[in-house]
Amino acid sequence: MSEEGARLTELAKRRGFFLQSSGAYGGVAGFYTYGPQGATLKDNLENAWRDRYVTREGHMEISAPDVMPEAVFEASGHLDGFDDMIVECPECGASHRADHVVEDNTSIEEAESFSTDRIAEIIEENDLVCPDCGTELADQPVEDFNLMFETNIGPGSSSPGYLRPETAQGIFVEFPQLSEYARNQLPFGVAQIGKAYRNEISPRKGLIRVREFTQAELEHFIDPEEDEPPIARVEDVTLPLYSVEQQQADDGDIQEVTVREALEEGILADEWVAFYLGLSKGWYERIGVDMDRFRFRQHLPGELAHYAADCWDAESELAGDWVEITGFAYRGDYDLKKHAAHSEEEFTVFKQYDEPVTVERPTVDPDMSVLGPEFGGDAGAVAEALEELVEREPDAFEDTEVTVEVDGDTYTVDTETAGYSVEEVTESGEHIRPHVVEPSFGVGRLVYTVLAHAYEEDEVDDEQRTYLSLPPEIAPTTVGVFPLMDKDGLGERARELAEELRGAGLEVTYDDSGAIGRRYRRQDEVGTPFCVTVDYETQEGNETQDAADADGTETVTVRERDTTTQKRVAVDDLAETLVALRDGDLSFDDL
């Protein structure tokens, strides 16, 4: 682990951000428990995501089960193609992700895009060894390993199921009902924040590669022929783009271009993906991602998922490595088409025309009195294949015979027997299958990125200080409330103030233990942006008020974390002021 990673992991465990689960039993790789600070930080990030991608965009949100039946993943392709490359050490028996062995020990950055055979060749060419025991891995097979966690639904093994490897399928399988909720009006978006599970070969780097994690995903359903994104909203946003062309060039580098320039120059091919890159850039800044350690990287041809026409990753730099924190993909109609074929349900929406139109519609009316004797039990399947073919490829019926395939077997049918004809029909609309644009965020990786990018060290009053420069909206605690000393009524008044601030909806911690400087340091280290101190000046203002002096004002000291600047604020205005500071409606300099 890098020095930065070790430093952050130590702070995270000591201050309650995250720690390896089941430590009393030796721990389990790839599973982490979020402590009191981490759970709140994670919640705040999720709420900020929900505000940006659901509430402000007018989308809807669902919560689907973590376990789904096998049929869902047969349709989605996960059972056959959701693999990582594995290589096993012949000496110690440890299993390793083969592309990571290559990336960690060569100059190759995106080994995932290579085939298993090519990875095996690179391991042999570079004499790569087992990371655990140092045994040579040359001549060891590199194989695909499916990452799905399998289970059974109910007793016995008759109903196999799987822990979902992504939250997206929980949205896709419910599309027929969700489209009704959207009144069949495209475009519409469906979001979900929830757990996903992948049986990673070699979990590593804290929250970066784990076996249980949280995703925040949006599936935006669009009419590919008509729906266009509101590019004008983001066209002037500058994006740090690392395209395929730049990755493959000898001197390639990140290009800083606006959304509009990227589209005009062909760097970004799809306007919907461009829109979400532009929208997300501001959100990353909002939650505290360091823009000097951030880029959007285009997937290389070998990396592209089978469903994706184009895909870009948002990546953050962590200890010298670039880590994916979000994937932006144009999935086309792949998922809805697959689920429609496997479930025999309609995964379409009805698009109403402005006025009815008369069109010529190719159709078939198979003569079953001929197909039955000729094809026996396969006659029904042949008739269905003819009906599908006339919709997909009507030109196939121009000859005297037409050929269809059923379960790998070929059948030839006279066009006359197929009952092919072209009819004029009046239609009020048509059923269309939407395309999908998907921004998919890894919440745990965002937590790790925000913590790593917020980590700062400086010196205050000749003493070394560590602090997390977290945005107030994201910080686990908004304000720490202290009495200067827990005597002379200061502690009682500080506790009263803490309760009042909690009542105003603020995350508050109360602390009267140790010297005031130590208490400040504790809050700095967990990223608390503001501290309120009740002191004797507060008490004097309160006593003046009790004496009915019109000029008496009860005040407290408010300290800002990053600069350690302190200002006095009237108690009557304290809650309103802190809420405005947290929400970004007021800056500390303006106090």
Map residue 485 onto helix, strand or coil. coil
Note the pLDDT of residue 162: 96
Beta strands, E only, 300-434: 310-318, 321-332, 349-363, 401-406, 409-414, 421-432
Q: What architecture is domain 477-590?
A: 3-Layer(aba) Sandwich (3.40)
Helix (H) or strand (E) holding 577: helix 571-583
- 164, with CB counted inside 10 A (0-12, 13-18, 19+), is buried
Q: Which of 406, 427, 421, 410 is nearest to 365 (CA)?
A: 421
Tokens of 360: 């010529």
Cα torsion angle, 169, 171, 175, 177, sign: positive
Helix (H, G, I), strand (E, B) or coil at 507: coil
Please name the fold of domain 83-145.
Answer: Herpes Virus-1 (3.30.40)
CA dist 72 and 52 (Å) reads 30
Identify residue 531 by its one-letter amino acid code: C
Q: What is the pLDDT of residues 324-366, one digit of tens each?
A: 999 999 999 999 999 999 998 989 999 888 788 888 889 999 9
Alpha carbons within 13 angstroms on the beta-carbon side of residue 446 total: 28
- Which of 452, 524, 443 lies closest to 45, judged by CA? 443
CA distances from residue 91 to 103, 125, 549 in whole angstroms, order as listed: 22, 20, 84
All residue ranges of the chain with pLDDT < 70 are 1, 306-307, 541-552
Q: Which two tokens stand for residue 453?
A: 């990018």
Of the CA atoms within 13 Å of residue 377, those in its CB half-sphere come to 0
Cα(254)–Cα(262) distance, integer angstroms: 12
Contact 95, 87 (CB under 8 A): yes
| Spatial CA neighbour of 445 closest among 577, 314, 589, 252 | 314
The token duo for 234 is 């983001």
Q: In this predicted structure, what is the pLDDT of residue 85?
A: 93
Measured CA to CA, the distance from residue 474 to residue 52 in angstroms comes to 14
Q: What pLDDT does residue 543 have?
A: 57
Q: For residue 51, what are its two tokens?
A: 């505000």
Residue 160: CB atoms within 10 Å? 13
Phi and psi angles of residue 303, each rounded to the nearest 5 degrees, phi first: -90, -25
Residue 290: helix, strand or coil by DSSP? coil
How do the domains of the chain map onto residue ranges? 3-82+147-333+438-442, 83-145, 353-431, 477-590
How far is residue 520 from each of residues 297, 473, 484, 516, measured CA to CA in Å? 40, 19, 11, 6
What whole-number distance in Å separates Cα of residue 152 and Cα of residue 162? 8
Q: How many Å apart are CA 564 and CA 479, to the nearest integer?
A: 14
Residue 218's Cβ-side half-sphere holds a number of Cα atoms within 13 Å equal to: 26
DSSP 8-state symbol, 299: P
Strand partners, 322: 317
Question: What's the CA gap between 132 and 377, in Å, rounded?
Answer: 59
**Side-chain-facing half-sphere of 46: CA atoms under 13 Å:** 18
Phi and psi angles of residue 237, each rounded to the nearest 5 degrees, phi first: -70, 130
> What per-residue confidence (pLDDT) applies to 532?
98
- What does the DSSP 8-state code read for residue 565? -
As a whole number of Å, the end-to-end CA separation of the chain is 43
Q: Where are the beta strands (DSSP E) in 228-383?
A: 238-242, 255-258, 294-298, 310-318, 321-332, 349-363
CB 336 within 8 A of CB 325: no
User: How many residues are given for the chain?
Assistant: 591
CA distances from 388 to 48, 261, 341, 380, 396 (A): 46, 43, 11, 13, 12
CATH number attached to the domain at 3-82+147-333+438-442: 3.30.930.10
Burial class (CB in 10 A: 0-12, 13-18, 19+), 410: exposed
